[in-house]
Amino acid sequence: MTPLIDNIVFDVMILTHYHLIWQVNSVIINAMIDVTLLGTAATMPLPERALSSVLLRYDGRTILFDCGEGTQTAARKAKVSLMKTDLIALTHYHGDHIFGLPGLLQTFGCMGRTDPLYICGPEGLKTAMEPIVMLAGPLPYRIFLSRMGEGGLEFGDAVLKGFNVEHRVPCFGYEFTLPRAGKFDPKKADALQVPLHERSVLQHGENITVGTKVITPSMVMGKERKGLKVVISGDTAYSKELITHAKDADLFICDATYGEDVYSEEAKLYGHSTFSDAAKMAKKAKVKRLWLTHFSQTMERPEDYLAYAWGSFPEAVAGEDGKTITLRFEDEEDA
């Protein structure tokens, strides 16, 4: 790897495991995902709307999806911290999704960050990031530009995958999945003479040996239960690939640049979705929640256009800066 300037590694690495920054815990402290919309504007920021950005936090780690202008201010207003961001996952390199980066990288340095920062994205990452990090100036931490292996990036028990959507430049949507193992069956463990102190090892997906016999998790665990999934569309027109990845998502955050159906051809031409497009994709994917975002500056009140979405997906809501949700496994939501 060849640094172009001190501490910035521009050779794009292929990573399948974020073992460098994500220590896999034997026990997950919090089996929940926090998601905050930081910026919901497209093209240009408005007083109440920063440009595109979403913050996801899981098990003490943070992923920032895109970093449009106003992201830092939006985070302050939402009372969330960006300072411990581990990974910045960019959907694409249009200005309204990356122009907040130089300032954020510089702020990290000013606040004394020394931990490395990883940035990933679709084709063209190195070319797009060179001027960005040059603008940020000398930094006291290393930046690694990374691209995903075919299986995505593993974060402990969770997996982040990027996939292609329908924009006019290379663009990723992202799928963040937290699987959930089946219930542990103590009777099966007793029959196999599994020691009490080793049962947690099996519960976390690892084999053990009892005497000369290898015991696998499948021998003491029930059928895998429904986990959690968050899908972020990036900028996209109606996309079959996006529907596939969003299937059964607990939260689907989708491009809804245009409110009215009269703009459907224009939306398709520029690689964007209408409220109706987003709702139709949500319906086909059978998602649990749909948050619309990336609103045109011509929409002063995005909620006024929700009727265009409700025809296909009555639960659709218009996202707003600072909107936050904590996702838990289904049987824990009311606990």
Mean pLDDT, range 71-98, rounded to an integer = 97
Average pLDDT over residues 153-179: 93
The closest of 63, 62, 69, 61 to 40, measured between CA atoms, is 69
CA distances from 111 to 8, 238, 288 (A): 18, 41, 38
Instruction: Give the chain's domains with CATH numbers.
Output: 3-180+227-332 (3.60.15.10), 186-219 (no CATH)
Residue 8 has pLDDT above 70, yes or no: no
34 is catalytic: no
Mean pLDDT score, 135-157: 86
Give the integer Cα–Cα distance in Å for 238 and 46. Answer: 26
Q: Report percent pLDDT > 70 for the chain.
A: 90
Above 80 in pLDDT, residue 7?
no
Burial tier of 292 (Cβ tally within 10 Å: 0-12, 13-18, 19+): buried
In terms of Cα–Cα distance, which of 208, 217, 166 is closest to 188? 217
Q: Is the pLDDT of residue 13 over 60?
A: no
The arithmetic mean of pLDDT across residues 114-118, rounded, is 94
| Per-residue CA distances from 229 to 122, 247, 266, 326 (Å) | 21, 9, 31, 12
Token match 């920054």: residue?
21
Catalytic residue among 66, 96, 255, 277: 96
Return d(Cα 270, Cα 203) in angstroms, integer: 48
- Sheet with 143-148, strands from edge to edge, namely 3-5, 8-15, 143-148, 117-120, 87-89, 61-65, 53-58, 32-39, 324-328
Decide if pLDDT at 147 tops 70. Answer: yes
pLDDT value at 190 more than 60: yes
Write the CB contacts of 250 (distance below 8 Å, at least 6 apart in sequence): 228, 229, 230, 287, 288, 289, 327
| The pair of three-digit structure tokens given for residue 68, joined into one six-digit string | 């449009």
